[in-house]
Chains A and B, each alone.
Chain A
Amino acid sequence: MTANLVEMRGITKSFPGVRALQEVDFSLRPGEVHALLGENGAGKSTLVKILSGVFAKDGGTVRLFGQIAEHLTPLRAQELGVAIIHQELNLCQHLTVTENIFLGREIVRNGRLCRREMTQAAREVLGRLNIALDPDTIVGNLAISKQQMVEIAKALATDAKVLIMDEPTSALTAKEIDDLFIIIHRLRKEGRGIIYISHRLDELQHIVDRVTILRDGEFITCTNLADTTLPEIIANMVGREINEKFPRVTCKVGKTVFEVKRLNAGRLVRNVSLSLREGEIVGIAGLMGAGRTETMRAIFGVDATSSGEIWLDGSKIDIRHPEDAIKRGVVLVPEDRKRDGLCTRLVIRENIALPNLDILCGPTSFVRRDQERKMANKAMEDLRIKAPHIDVDAASLSGGNQQKVVLGKWLARQARVVIFDEPTRGIDVAAKVEIYNLMNDLKQRGIAILFVSSEMPEILGISDRIIVMCDGRVTGEMPIEDATQEKIMELATQFEVKQ
């Protein structure tokens, strides 16, 4: 029997006020894909950061390749053969593939870069993985999936024996995911170990050998995937069986509120038409790059449209700027809360007030502070935002609570149409359910909802009607009763034959 690549025993780590890890065990065999599962904040990333030398552990032992590894630093871990492929890729966008692969380890002779040698070596690594990529391409010009391959190649160029992949498939299409899995299989055959962190449990069966589940910083279980089931894994992750996973509410569907007619905007919004009725959640399904976010941005007036009409309550409206949309009661909860949703250097109160200053100021343009506090406190209460008070920096909140602040911005005003773009991405199960409940609540109040999501179960669980997009076009529409995963996938891959 060969020794384990990684052997972590009794790992303990505390941050001020929090026990992040408590007596956690973890091991990785050669040629194994080992999934590390748990809700957000379960301690997965802390564990991985200890292994890669970013954090120092408080207690326990780490063995790498049989040797006790004390005082790991990121550099030391790399030298020993531990590589991380981050969720946010760490590549220099303006450099070539070769330059990235050899970053910090350039081959230099007499003070000169040996470009040809490095390009050759890069080509070799890429070839070994069967990745069709020119090593001289600028990384910034590559799709995310290809950039990820570059990261993997970079890890292999240092001959890393342990690869940590953090949510590697979150930005990939189905096809790209397949390609990635093929590469993972190849790495496994070479005897390397892969630690696989993902929230997408449905992927596990394709690649994973063993799973270790953490909850609240504690080790729960480690089993062969073959010996467990998905419901059991979920039960272990959240600590209880989830019977009713998606709270569905049925209510009377009213008249048509909102219509988009033949909207065009750039390459990814082509002749899009859709309609929304009162008290209805319409799910927008599709693969990454199908143009869903782009469509929502065009509707909301962020990006310019080239043609098309938008109708609200039976009359045509003109939206050139988000301001126009907001005034009419059409609001958007954006996809990426850090980038688009939140002013992290402002406090909760100011964030919630930001789109509502027209209400808070009245005709005078002076902010009425009492009303502002009232609005923020109400949002805190309604959405159960966990924070000491409303004057806390938004940056200090956890992901789920930040998302609630973003929602709070929009719930403070009378909206007719609410667009949710991936509202549950990157937040834990409990917070997800709260957001579903909130959407249902809005629906019951007669508000029309557009719900963009990449997670099929979620779309199927919450929507009343589903619209599928592919390549910037609407390729199909169906009531929830007729919707199946297969149908949606079929419509989502209806690419036009390119000339």
Chain B
Amino acid sequence: MAETRPNIVKRVFAIRGMGQVITVFFGIIVLGSIFGLLNPNFLSDRNMHNLLRQIAPFLIVGIGQSYVLITGNIDLSIGSVLGMSCMISATLMTRGVNPWLAVLLTFIPAVVTGIINGLLVARVKLPPFIATLGTMTIARGIAQVVNGNRNTDAIGQGAQLFRDVFYYGRFNLFGVNFPYNTVWIALGLWLVFNFLLSRTRTGRHIYAVGSNREAAQLSGVNVTKTVVKAYTVSAFCACVAGLIQCAQGGLGTMDSGTTFELFAVAASVIGGVSTLGGQGILLGTIMGACVWGIMQNGLSLANVFVAYRNISVGIIVIISVWADIIVRDGRSRRLRAQAEQAAASLRETTTTN
């Protein structure tokens, strides 16, 4: 059989999950137009910059959650790890530790939490929901205890460069304002982790474990190692998001990041990552994070009460997953028909042999 490579457009569309990504992309355009009509300020240059920096943390935690979801698990500890990282870095900085050393030190407990999550799920074989519920509570407790159950004071003058690098810094070229640094950090992380997931051995293992754990194991994939890696990525991302919150607020707050794990699930599933594992691409997570951010920003500009915002965003999550199921059912029906057809053609060739 000679190899035939379809043209680039066809190949892009053939990537699994691309359908959902494109659908969500059009959804974003529709949402943007609606909010733009409701309040012209929505599309203003200033609000676009605000919107982007609002989306950034959703994208960052979404990347981590997507990794874990694709292995067929879930990470509920993201929000608490975020809060813990925020508190630890801020506490260290207010105690006079060099901000960069503080950043490095902050990564240690976060990454350890990720490794523990992975080991609990893959080695000890706890249900991921329970295991990460446990670490979620513990990490939140640590966030409360590091500064004696108080939010920290302002991280002070010495940390200004830290705040600029992680959040406020922006450059201006030929009179054009570029987005805040936080947006670039999110995009940078996305580029790196998208590459890891789609092009490397570890990435492939993550998909395989999520699709069929037994088969992956029998193919020589170290399941424990793979799951630990996914949870570590998740904790790493949560930590970055925590540092960003610290830089943004200029202090550590004990309840920062609360319910972010659920925002992360929402960003992932809206973008087409399956909670059953084995399916989804990070391009979808960007789209999901955008939908999430646009809803929050647009509804608040349209003066909708927070309560209604929550309700409408919740409805969007349910609809997007529902739509995914409907599409997938149609697809599996097609697949079954294909299988019958393949069997039929097989019979033809064997009888004519």
**Cα separation A297 to B207 with both chains bound (whole Å):** 23
Which of A20, A332, A346, A361 is the one whose CB lies under 8 Å from B340? A20
| A323-B222, A365-B201 known; A17 vs B351 contact (CB < 8 Å) | no
Report A405 CB to chain B, min CB distance, Å: 11
Chain B proximity mask over A15-51: 1 for CB below 8 Å, otherwise 0: 1111010000000000000000001110000000000
- Residue of B at shortest CB range from A392? B338
Report A334 CB to chain B, min CB distance, Å: 5
Is A354 an interface position by the 8 A CB rule? Answer: yes
**Cα separation A465 to B240 with both chains bound (whole Å):** 61
Is A446 an interface position by the 8 A CB rule? Answer: no
Is B95 an interface position by the 8 A CB rule? Answer: no
Query: Which B63-84 residues have a C-beta within 8 angstroms of A?
Result: none
Are A386 and B342 in contact (CB-based, < 8 A)? yes
**Cα separation A216 to B347 with both chains bound (whole Å):** 7
Is A355 an interface position by the 8 A CB rule? Answer: yes
Is B200 an interface position by the 8 A CB rule? Answer: yes
Are B3 and A340 in contact (CB-based, < 8 A)? no
Is A400 an interface position by the 8 A CB rule? Answer: yes
Is A321 an interface position by the 8 A CB rule? Answer: yes
Chain A residues contacting B338 (CB-CB under 8 Å) are 396
Chain A residues contacting B335 (CB-CB under 8 Å) are 393, 395-396
Report B219 CB to chain A, min CB distance, Å: 4
Is A341 an interface position by the 8 A CB rule? Answer: yes
Are B221 and A398 in contact (CB-based, < 8 A)? no
Chain A residues contacting B218 (CB-CB under 8 Å) are 300, 302, 322, 332, 334, 340-341
Which of A322, A346, A381 is the one whose CB lies under 8 Å from B208? A346
Binds A, one of B19-27, B104-112, B209-217: B209-217
Which of A339, A355, A393 is the one whose CB lies under 8 Å from B219? A355
Chain A proximity mask over B140-178: 1 for CB below 8 Å, otherwise 0: 000000000000000000000000000000000000000
Are B217 and A350 in contact (CB-based, < 8 A)? no
Is B279 an interface position by the 8 A CB rule? Answer: yes
Are A354 and B204 in contact (CB-based, < 8 A)? yes
Query: Which B298-353 residues have a C-beta within 8 angstroms of A?
Result: 332, 335-347, 349-351
Which of A350, A389, A400 is the one whose CB lies under 8 Å from B204? A350
**Cα separation A495 to B174 with both chains bound (whole Å):** 87
Are A389 and B4 in contact (CB-based, < 8 A)? yes
**Cα separation A63 to B342 with both chains bound (whole Å):** 32
Are B342 and A380 in contact (CB-based, < 8 A)? no
Chain A residues contacting B215 (CB-CB under 8 Å) are 334, 339-343, 354
Report B334 CB to chain A, min CB distance, Å: 8
Are A343 and B278 in contact (CB-based, < 8 A)? yes
Are A367 and B199 in contact (CB-based, < 8 A)? yes
| A321-B222, A373-B3, A398-B342 known; A365 vs B202 contact (CB < 8 Å) | yes
Chain B residues contacting A344 (CB-CB under 8 Å) are 211-212
Are A367 and B216 in contact (CB-based, < 8 A)? no
Chain A proximity mask over B89-132: 1 for CB below 8 Å, otherwise 0: 00000000000000000000000000000000000000000000
**Cα separation A389 to B14 with both chains bound (whole Å):** 12
Is A397 an interface position by the 8 A CB rule? Answer: yes
| A41-B344, A401-B342 known; A16 vs B214 contact (CB < 8 Å) | no
Chain B residues contacting A323 (CB-CB under 8 Å) are 220-222
Are A354 and B221 in contact (CB-based, < 8 A)? yes
Report B272 CB to chain A, min CB distance, Å: 13
Are A398 and B204 in contact (CB-based, < 8 A)? no
**Cα separation A216 to B346 with both chains bound (whole Å):** 11
Is B1 an interface position by the 8 A CB rule? Answer: yes
Are B345 and A386 in contact (CB-based, < 8 A)? yes
**Cα separation A380 to B210 with both chains bound (whole Å):** 25
Is A326 an interface position by the 8 A CB rule? Answer: yes
Which of A216, A353, A396 is the one whose CB lies under 8 Å from B342? A396
Chain B residues contacting A358 (CB-CB under 8 Å) are 201
Chain A residues contacting B277 (CB-CB under 8 Å) are 345
Chain B proximity mask over A335-368: 1 for CB below 8 Å, otherwise 0: 0000111111111001001110110010001110
Is A391 an interface position by the 8 A CB rule? Answer: yes
Report A339 CB to chain B, min CB distance, Å: 6
Is A377 an interface position by the 8 A CB rule? Answer: yes
Are B340 and A15 in contact (CB-based, < 8 A)? yes
Chain A residues contacting B212 (CB-CB under 8 Å) are 339, 342-345
Are A18 and B211 in contact (CB-based, < 8 A)? no
Which of A17, A322, A381 is the one whose CB lies under 8 Å from B1? A381
**Cα separation A346 to B338 with both chains bound (whole Å):** 16
**Cα separation A216 to B215 with both chains bound (whole Å):** 32
Report A378 CB to chain B, min CB distance, Å: 10
Chain B residues contacting A340 (CB-CB under 8 Å) are 214-215, 218
**Cα separation A405 to B179 with both chains bound (whole Å):** 48
Chain B proximity mask over A300-332: 1 for CB below 8 Å, otherwise 0: 101000000000000000000111011100001
22 A-B residue pairings within 8 Å (CB atoms):
A16-B340, A41-B346, A239-B351, A302-B217, A325-B220, A339-B214, A340-B214, A341-B215, A343-B278, A344-B211, A345-B211, A350-B207, A350-B208, A354-B216, A354-B221, A361-B201, A367-B204, A380-B1, A386-B342, A396-B336, A397-B339, A398-B346
A residues adjacent to B (C-beta < 8 A): 15-18, 20, 39-41, 216, 239, 300, 302, 321-323, 325-327, 332, 334, 339-347, 350, 353-355, 357-358, 361, 365-367, 373, 377, 380-381, 386-387, 389, 391, 393, 395-398, 400-401, 409, 430-431
Q: Which 9 A-B pairs have the closest CB atoms?
A: A343-B211, A355-B219, A345-B278, A396-B335, A326-B220, A345-B211, A398-B343, A430-B350, A323-B220
B residues adjacent to A (C-beta < 8 A): 1, 3-4, 14, 16, 199-202, 204-205, 207-208, 210-212, 214-222, 277-279, 332, 335-347, 349-351
List 4 other contacts, CB 8 Å, given A15-B337, A340-B215, A345-B211.
Answer: A216-B351, A350-B204, A354-B216, A365-B200
